[in-house]
């Protein structure tokens, strides 16, 4: 996995969408065609792609996740494919003896990953990178219930148009997106958007977090369409729990 490829992915460079090859979630530039749109997207046809249906779970001794999050969500951008909160340096996840810095978090509706066939109305991805450019994504499933505090802050200035960016009055803490119980599933996968780079450590929280239906609807309203890539074959990969 090349650091430059990851560093310039749409997920880590929110302004890169203006110059990147055009892709969509449906039609002639939809997921089935991503790999053929440009050689840069060739990995979208790889054998270790995300999202997946987390099934055939394998019992394992997974180490507890160690989150060190400060309030650092400072800007909110609609990049045409999702709404993303960019994070200031200083917050991290300890994993596999390494420090992965939280770069940003963003959302998909409906969920991209499925848990034993179940879809959720909203999924959050907290994207981290270590000093080698390797990525770790913490996925959180959301279900209708009480309003989420972090989204209440962010959605006050929800950017309605692609390319629109807003600064947040107060920095948001990603800690508010995490469930109280930190049990998780783990598998090896890829970015779920072009260039679909593989080698991403995926950590899917078992316990969903509540958001209000109004918060879900507000996100869907600015996206105008579902922004979930269809699940990809596991191809023999193990999903640990």
Show which residues are catalytic: 81
In angstroms, what CA-CA distances link 148 with 28, 78, 175, 212, 230?
A: 36, 20, 11, 7, 26
Q: Where do we find the tokens 């191809």? A: 235
CA dihedral 212, 135, 222, 115 (to 10 degrees): -50
Joined together, the tokens standing for residue 85 give: 């909160």
């Amino acid at each position: 996995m090349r650091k430059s490829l990851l560093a310039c992915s749409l997920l880590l460079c929110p302004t890169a969408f203006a110059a990147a090859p055009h892709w969509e979630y449906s039609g002639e530039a939809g997921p089935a065609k991503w790999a053929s749109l440009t050689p840069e997207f060739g990995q979208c046809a790889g054998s270790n792609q995300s999202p997946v249906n987390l099934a055939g779970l394998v019992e394992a001794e997974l180490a507890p996740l160690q989150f060190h999050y400060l309030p650092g969500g400072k800007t909110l951008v609609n990049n045409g494919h999702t709404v993303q909160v960019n994070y200031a340096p200083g917050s991290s996840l300890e994993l596999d003896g390494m420090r992965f810095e939280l770069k940003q978090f963003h959302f998909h509706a409906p969920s991209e990953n499925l848990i034993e066939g179940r879809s959720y109305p909203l999924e959050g991805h907290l994207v981290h990178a270590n000093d080698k450019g390797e990525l770790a994504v913490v996925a959180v499933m959301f279900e209708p219930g009480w309003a989420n505090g972090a989204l209440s802050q962010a959605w006050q200035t929800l950017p309605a148009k692609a390319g629109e960016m807003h600064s947040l009055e107060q920095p948001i803490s990603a800690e508010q997106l995490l469930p109280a119980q930190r049990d998780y599933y783990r598998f090896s996968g890829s970015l779920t958007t072009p260039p679909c780079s593989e080698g991403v450590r995926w950590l899917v929280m078992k316990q969903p977090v509540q958001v209000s239906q109004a918060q879900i609807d507000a996100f869907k309203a600015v996206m105008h369409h579902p922004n979930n890539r269809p699940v990809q074959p596991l191809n023999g990969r193990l999903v640990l729990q």
